[in-house]
Amino acid sequence: MLKGIKIRLYLNDEQQSVIDRLLGSYRFVYNQCLSHKIETYESEKKSVNLSGLGKFFHGNLRNEYDWLQEHNTKVLKQSIINLETAYKNFFKQGRGFPKFKSKHDVQKVRFPQEAVAAKTFDEESSRLNLTKTISGLKFKCSDRDKNYLYKNKSGIKSVTIIKNKADQYYATILIDGDLLRNLDKPQNDIVGIDLGIKTLLTLSDGQIFENNKYIRSSERKLKKLQRQLSKKQMLSTGEFKFSKKWNKNVEIKTPSNNRKKAAVKLAKVHQKIKNQKLDYLHNITTKIVNENQVIVLEDLNVSGMMKNHKLAKSIQELGLYEMRRQFEYKSKWYGRELIFVSRWFPSSKTCSCCGWKNNNLKLSDREFICKECGLVIDRDENAAINIENEGKKILIGQRLPEFTPVDYPLMDDPIGSNAGMLRSNDRLKQEEKAMHNNFV
């Protein structure tokens, strides 16, 4: 099974210089090939395929720019493969048109399996070896990941070196090996999970995971560093280029050394916040996957929820997409089953005991009080129990895992009402209201 292991690299000055030159060459080849594809299409009205880009790389770029011969050809040609992938994503998946790479963004370079050294790891000194010129890279990771890498080093498929905006170096190793560890039989058969803002996760068994709000706790520090960065100067280069946006030639400016230092300081704080949030999410998802055989989540429309400007910042801080991604791949790793309940399911408004529905439930009502059976329960816990019960129905085939308002009655209308007669505009309003009420 393929897994990605991320390790932190600690480089000396010489190693850093070699990798920086490789990153620059990798980016240069990508940009030159993208420019060649665009110019060829505009002049000849035909697209250059992967084979044509390979000929352009060997026949033009390597002959014209001698410094490209310093690096492994198989590594540099991976940038051409990345470009072709970006074009396929644009045409087939509707993603944005490929953009030129900038040295001010996160930089990556991928080493394919055939370009990685036979003795990839020096286990005695914890060193990573890639090619003849890039070897002896000191790295650190958890003992579990290190043992897994050493045990399955023959199954390495690729190694990607990453340099982030904080000038930190990482390596992501794609490796084909056994499971990290065999898990014991889970404690629970099934668990429902309600996502929220006040509390990040509420489980149907009563467990609560708080929202630590890492971004808000660091807002003052971020604002201070952003003010310092905005006051640092951009230096004039004396060169001009044509801007399509302004329809005129604009002067090219470069950041001063002080501005670069301020940008790195700000990037390090952002990286620390990201690491804190990822570590917290990993701890949560691993714990839940370990303890439960079946996990039931809400299939939320996060992009639609972000349109609510009152909640957008809080929703963005949660990292819902990353949490879902972790649940999906960890469930596959450890043989768990992951079920998604439709966003249209009224988990917050329905009594988990008798099924009575409170259509007048407000966001300020943090307790659910049933007027039929008298149940008094926390709002989020009630929703988590309802999600678990709905997941059980999906398991035994009483519900479809995916359904639309046409297939299932709308949550704010009684069964058998004019649900199918609603216009598309009403459906959008219903969807926004449902997401808003169920999520918080």
Query: Which DSSP string do the residues of 40-74 spell out, in sequence order?
Result: HHHHHS----HHHHHHHIIIIIHHH-GGGGGS-HH
DSSP 186: P
| Predicted local confidence at residue 435, as pLDDT | 44
| pLDDT score at 399 | 59
Give the per-residue pLDDT at 401. Answer: 55
Burial 76-90 (b: 16+ CB within 10 A, else e): bbbbbebbbebbeee
Q: Is 408 helix (H, G, I), strand (E, B) or coil?
A: coil
Q: Alpha helix (H) ranges present in 66-130?
A: 73-92
Task: Encode the chain (440 residues) as per-residue pLDDT tens digits.
Answer: 788 999 999 999 999 999 999 999 999 999 999 999 999 999 988 999 999 999 999 999 999 999 999 999 999 999 999 999 999 999 988 889 999 999 889 999 999 999 888 888 988 888 999 998 899 999 999 998 999 899 888 899 999 999 999 999 999 999 988 764 556 678 788 999 998 888 899 999 889 999 888 888 899 999 999 999 999 999 888 888 877 777 888 888 888 999 999 999 999 999 999 999 999 999 999 999 999 999 999 888 887 888 878 878 888 888 888 999 999 999 988 889 999 998 888 888 889 888 888 888 887 788 888 888 888 888 889 999 999 999 888 888 755 554 434 333 333 333 333 333 333 344 444 444 444 444 44
H/E run at residue 286: helix 257-291
CA gap 336, 333 in Å, rounded: 8
pLDDT value at residue 123? 87
Q: Which helix (H) or strand (E) segment is 224 a member of?
A: helix 219-231
Q: For residue 79, what pLDDT is reported?
A: 95
* pLDDT at site 315: 83
d(C-alpha 108, C-alpha 111), whole Å: 10
> Inter-axis angle of helices 257-291 and 320-333, to 10 degrees?
50
Domains of the chain with CATH codes: 2-176 (no CATH), 188-212+267-439 (3.30.420), 216-265 (no CATH)
The DSSP code for 256 is -
pTM attached to this predicted model: 0.79
Are 149 and 177 in contact, with CB atoms under 8 Å apart? no
